[in-house]
Structure 1
């Protein structure tokens, strides 16, 4: 919730990369923030409904991605290797311009129990 809040309710233009995990929609994106945003969420999250995170994703401009873990709850995917690898490559691309890391994102995130969606610039 806090991460998404820094893109919407309490905008901070210094944010250039963000990874909201199991978040809820906190309002309209601030035009002051132009961050690359990677959402991660379990599709069986009983604390933060995935529908709210999906709404937040739809509202943001590119560059953005959504990694959903099928059958996962609120946080049981945090230590998953797909989570870790995707996070690292997201930040390498977002913060350092590493296009090889960007190009690995789909492979990092893809498995029989995940869904990857992205709009990358």
Structure 2
């Protein structure tokens, strides 16, 4: 892990402004500046891990906190009835651009089908 602070660490430290939606002792949830859906909130652990797999191996309880915070964000944003998506991108090919693990909470509209379908299933 680099010694350089990531964008998210600077947001957590309040060095960079963000529209905070929810905060716990271990997580911070804030609106994505480039939303991909009507509701697009990022949930980050306050402790830096590069990927979700690294987080799961090192601190399963913190991963549970991230998912619990994502669920609370969905509730606060009024998404629990209509549905929402929680996404973790891992690595360059998946589109991860900040290497501080984060969950995307997406909803508020009909989301496109996820993945590639070859047989209509």
Shorter chain as denominator, the TM-score bin is 0.3 to 0.5
Larger Rg computed on CA atoms: 2
Greater RCO, 1 or 2 (C-alpha within 8 Å, sep 6+): 2
What is the TM-score of this pair, normalised by structure 1?
A: 0.34
Q: Which structure shows the bigger proportion of residues in helix conformation?
A: 1
What is the TM-score of this pair, normalised by structure 2?
A: 0.34
